[in-house]
Amino acid sequence: MANRIASRSLAYHTLIAAVLVSCGIGAVRADEGRWILVDTATHTLSVFDGKKREHTYPRVALGRGGAANERQIGNGVTPTGEFQVAWINRSSPFDVFFGLNFPNEEHVERAYQRHFIDIDTYYTLRTALSEGRLPPQDTPLGGTIGIHGLGTGDLGIHRRFDWTKGCVALTNQEIEQLARWVQVGTRVVIR
């Protein structure tokens, strides 16, 4: 049984890599095109064009649970890893919302290995990823992770605390400025 699951996992890894490369997903590297780096240690968000830093936002808020490479629904953790902007909502209660393709392949694998998700959820998530679709957002890993503005929130709280449910937040003015550089497919690295 374990060998069969390992074989399926390897087959899925290979299939996902082929699909993502053929769709151009994951093909943008740090030296190509515009991308975003969220540095959770310094609470900054930087926009790069290739290797050249174009702009840095000096204070972003993260999830109340901090940042980590493991996330479960309700723990308020901002997931670390490499993502892409999967959708943009310009009518969000948080001004503009850039939705990320969370959970990604690494999060799904890690969650399954640590028994955070069952085999059915694992294959549902892996199938969505292999087909280039947004993974279901209502699993035990949670979802609707993104970069957004403050909306009608308190600027004083934003400047002093990590207050989101797992997203990265900027002020409304900053998210509006960021919107000039971001599009669906923009690479986002959270570290």
Q: Which residue has the higher pLDDT, 73 or 19?
A: 73
**Placement of tokens 């308020």 in the chain:** 76
Residue 110: band (very low, low, confident or very high) from pLDDT cuts 50, 70, 90: very high
User: What would the mean pLDDT of 24-40 be, rounded to a whole number?
Assistant: 70
Token representation of residue 14: 């290979």
Percent of the chain, pLDDT > 70? 83
Residue 145: band (very low, low, confident or very high) from pLDDT cuts 50, 70, 90: very high
Give long-range contacts, CB 8 A cutoff, 24+ apart: 81-84. Answer: 81/106, 81/107, 81/189, 81/190, 82/26, 82/187, 82/188, 82/189, 82/190, 83/145, 83/187, 83/188, 83/189, 83/190, 84/25, 84/26, 84/184, 84/185, 84/186, 84/187, 84/188
User: What would the mean pLDDT of 12-33 be, rounded to a whole number?
Assistant: 42
Q: What is the pLDDT of residue 25?
A: 41
Q: Name the pTM for this structure.
A: 0.82
Residue 12: band (very low, low, confident or very high) from pLDDT cuts 50, 70, 90: very low
Q: Tell me 164's DSSP state.
A: B
Is residue 173 predicted with pLDDT exceeding 60? yes
Domains of the chain in start order, with CATH, are: 2-190 (2.40.440.10)
Q: What is the pLDDT of residue 146?
A: 98
Which helix (H) or strand (E) segment is 78 a member of? strand 78-79
